[in-house]
């Protein structure tokens, strides 16, 4: 196909980013690297970042500097033929806004990435969903900081069949995790009975105005950080949560920090047990003062006939069956050749964007790969865990869903 013909047939998806802090700029990187995996089929796709919104001037400045460094907003076309980069003059008026409402009213985008602080998600999502113009949404985790806000967003979105809402639980796409998911779904391990996830890592990073130091802003550590792992437990168990028991505390980090006269209340370590409706169980072992770890995440899934493990960032998967014993364990290096940018999450954010763009291009024929129910339940488990620590008892999912 001639270049001129390919250009004439191109479909364009215009992106806006709300929240241009660390994760917003990570999304800018991924959109700049987005390559032809989706666009190989006709019609080709032009991915364009047209606008940024953030009330924090320094974040906007850093976002603009990065956009310039990455060559944005030069439109890039990926199609069945070669990559073409259009003349920058063909796209004028790259805009920045101090608020998301101005971005919505600009008419400059078809899809919006919400990567603002957790406590802002609810109102931003409701404003996007209720806006007369349809905008597809990729919202960073957690969906919202409370179960009730998640439920309201889910109900509102049901009234808009013209938009897609995908939740940014991208750990599903990390190559070793995705490989382990495939192994589990193939039946290699038999019926899954136990899922154990260990995250031993560094403390929370510094964010704008230190918003992530307080439960009221983040939803609490088990919501803010661990919704990823509760989502994975549901996937591996192929079941929904019933009740949660947790023990956690603030033992090391942030104890000497004070913000506006207040000491942070986010826990830095916890054990969480989750019981599922098919009888399987999950356990999370979280420590955020464990920088001296070879792997940041270690995942174990045990079925009645075998066991699978994933290690990140080593990107190793190990699989063995009871009948084969230790000598039968196989080690696999997990890779995904589609990844063009590793970024902060080992390529998973890039794959997340591929999935989101695919869903947009299919125009509703296929739903988002991580939907609002997934986002809601990952938050519900985290909220139940936070409440369990506070109350010192098991907390049922029914209890937190009922409010």
Residue 351, in any domain of the structure: no
Q: Which residue has the higher pLDDT, 166 or 362?
A: 166
- Say if residue 83's pLDDT is above 60: no
Kindly give, in sequence order, each residue whose CB lies less than 8 Å from that of residue 53, ignoring residues fewer than 6 positions away.
16, 17, 18, 19, 20, 96, 97, 98, 99, 100, 102, 103
Q: What pLDDT, on a 0 to 100 scale, did the predictor assign at position 84?
A: 35
**pLDDT band with cut points at 50, 70 and 90 for residue 36:** very low
Q: What pLDDT, on a 0 to 100 scale, did the predictor assign at position 8?
A: 42
Residues 288/269, Cβ–Cβ less than 8 Å: yes
3-state secondary structure 37-79: CCCCCCCCEEEEEEEEECCCHHHHHHHHHHHHHHCCCCCEEEC
Residues 193/280, Cβ–Cβ less than 8 Å: yes
CATH of the domain at 202: 3.30.360.10
Whole-angstrom Cα distance, residue 313 to residue 122? 32
- Say if residue 184's pLDDT is above 80: yes
Residue 221, in any domain of the structure: yes
* Token pair for 130: 């209720």
Q: What pLDDT, on a 0 to 100 scale, did the predictor assign at position 361?
A: 85
Whole-angstrom Cα distance, residue 231 to residue 88? 41
Whether residues 284 and 314 fall in one domain: yes
Residue 162, in any domain of the structure: yes
Whether residues 47 and 181 fall in one domain: no
**pLDDT band with cut points at 50, 70 and 90 for residue 233:** very high
- Say if residue 93's pLDDT is above 70: no
Q: Which of the listed residues 110, 145, 169 is the one where a domain comes to its end?
A: 169
Q: What pLDDT, on a 0 to 100 scale, did the predictor assign at position 238?
A: 98
Whether residues 67 and 155 fall in one domain: yes
Q: What pLDDT, on a 0 to 100 scale, did the predictor assign at position 37?
A: 44
Q: Which residue has the higher pLDDT, 243 or 403?
A: 243
- pTM for this one? 0.91
> What are phi and psi for residue 248, nearest 5 degrees?
-160, 170
Q: What pLDDT, on a 0 to 100 scale, did the predictor assign at position 310?
A: 98
Q: Which of the listed residues 116, 144, 169 is the one where a domain comes to its end?
A: 169
Write down the mean pLDDT value for the chain: 90
Segment 291-308 shows an average pLDDT of 98
Q: What pLDDT, on a 0 to 100 scale, did the predictor assign at position 71?
A: 77
Segment 211-233 shows an average pLDDT of 97
- Say if residue 171's pLDDT is above 80: yes
CATH of the domain at 65: 3.40.50.720
Q: What pLDDT, on a 0 to 100 scale, did the predictor assign at position 368?
A: 85
Among 184, 187, 282, 185, CA closest to 231: 282
Chain center to CA of 188: 27
Whether residues 219 and 176 fall in one domain: yes
Q: What pLDDT, on a 0 to 100 scale, did the predictor assign at position 365?
A: 63
- Say if residue 115's pLDDT is above 90: yes
Whole-angstrom Cα distance, residue 103 to residue 108? 7
Whole-angstrom Cα distance, residue 241 to residue 235? 11
* Token pair for 226: 């661990």
- What is the tens place of the pLDDT at every residue in 342-397? 999 999 999 999 999 989 988 766 678 899 999 999 999 999 999 999 999 999 99
Residue 23, classed as helix, strand or coil, is: helix
Q: Which residue has the higher pLDDT, 301 or 75?
A: 301
Q: What pLDDT, on a 0 to 100 scale, did the predictor assign at position 178?
A: 98
Supply the range of the domain harboring residue 380: 171-345+358-402
H/E element, 84: strand 84-85
Whether residues 165 and 206 fall in one domain: no
Q: How many domains does the chain have?
A: 2
Among 339, 325, 322, 301, CA closest to 175: 339
Angle between helices 147-158 and 121-130 in degrees, nearest 10: 10
- Say if residue 1's pLDDT is above 60: no
Among 203, 197, 225, CA closest to 298: 197
Whether residues 199 and 79 fall in one domain: no
Q: Which of the listed residues 123, 147, 169 is the one where a domain comes to its end?
A: 169
Whether residues 25 and 160 fall in one domain: yes
Whether residues 239 and 291 fall in one domain: yes
Residue 201, in any domain of the structure: yes
**pLDDT band with cut points at 50, 70 and 90 for residue 42:** low
Whether residues 191 and 303 fall in one domain: yes
Please tell me the least confidently modeled range out of 85-89, 241-245, 293-297. Answer: 85-89
**pLDDT band with cut points at 50, 70 and 90 for residue 78:** very low
Q: Which residue has the higher pLDDT, 45 or 166?
A: 166
Residue 338, in any domain of the structure: yes
- Say if residue 77's pLDDT is above 70: no
Whole-angstrom Cα distance, residue 140 to residue 142? 6
Percent of the chain's residues with pLDDT above 90? 82
- Say if residue 4's pLDDT is above 60: no
Residue 352, in any domain of the structure: no
* Token pair for 348: 């998973």
For tokens 């964007």, name the residue: 353
Whether residues 200 and 286 fall in one domain: yes
Residues 38/357, Cβ–Cβ less than 8 Å: yes
């Amino acid at each position: 196909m001639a270049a001129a013909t390919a250009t004439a047939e191109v479909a364009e998806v215009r992106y806006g980013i709300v929240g241009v802090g660390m994760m917003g700029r990570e999304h800018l990187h991924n959109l700049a690297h987005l390559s032809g995996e989706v666009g190989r089929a006709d019609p080709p796709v032009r991915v364009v970042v047209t606008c940024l919104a953030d009330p924090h001037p320094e974040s906007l400045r850093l976002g603009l500097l990065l956009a310039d460094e990455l060559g944005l907003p030069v439109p890039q076309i990926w199609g069945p033929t070669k990559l073409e980069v259009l003349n920058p003059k063909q796209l004028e008026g790259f805009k920045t806004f101090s608020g998301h409402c101005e971005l919505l009213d600009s008419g400059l985008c078809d899809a919006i990435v919400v990567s603002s602080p957790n406590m802002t998600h609810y109102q931003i999502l409701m404003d996007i969903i209720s806006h007369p113009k349809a905008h597809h949404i990729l919202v960073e985790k957690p969906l919202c900081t409370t179960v009730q806000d998640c439920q309201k967003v889910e109900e509102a979105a049901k009234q808009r069949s013209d938009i897609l809402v995908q939740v940014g639980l991208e750990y599903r796409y990390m190559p070793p995790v995705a490989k382990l998911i495939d192994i589990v779904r193939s039946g290699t391990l038999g019926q899954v009975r136990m899922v154990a996830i260990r995250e031993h890592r560094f403390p929370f990073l510094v964010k704008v105005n230190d918003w992530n130091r307080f439960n009221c802003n983040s939803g609490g550590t088990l919501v803010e950080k661990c919704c990823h792992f509760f989502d994975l437990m549901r996937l591996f168990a192929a079941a929904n949560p019933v009740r949660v028991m947790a023990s956690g505390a603030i033992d090391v980090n942030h104890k000497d920090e004070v913000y506006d006269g207040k000491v942070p209340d986010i826990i830095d370590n916890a054990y969480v047990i989750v019981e599922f409706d098919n009888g399987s169980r999950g356990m999370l072992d979280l420590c955020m003062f464990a920088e001296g770890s070879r792997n940041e995440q270690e995942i174990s899934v045990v079925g009645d006939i075998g066991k699978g493990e994933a290690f990140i960032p080593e990107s190793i998967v190990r699989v063995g069956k009871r009948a084969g014993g230790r000598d039968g364990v196989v080690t696999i290096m997990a890779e995904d050749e589609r990844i063009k940018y590793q970024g902060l999450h080992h390529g998973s954010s890039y794959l997340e964007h591929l999935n989101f763009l695919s869903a947009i291009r299919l125009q509703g024929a296929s739903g988002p790969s991580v939907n609002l129910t997934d986002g809601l339940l990952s938050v519900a488990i985290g909220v139940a865990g936070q409440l369990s620590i506070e109350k010192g008892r098991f907390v049922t999912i029914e209890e937190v869903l009922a409010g």
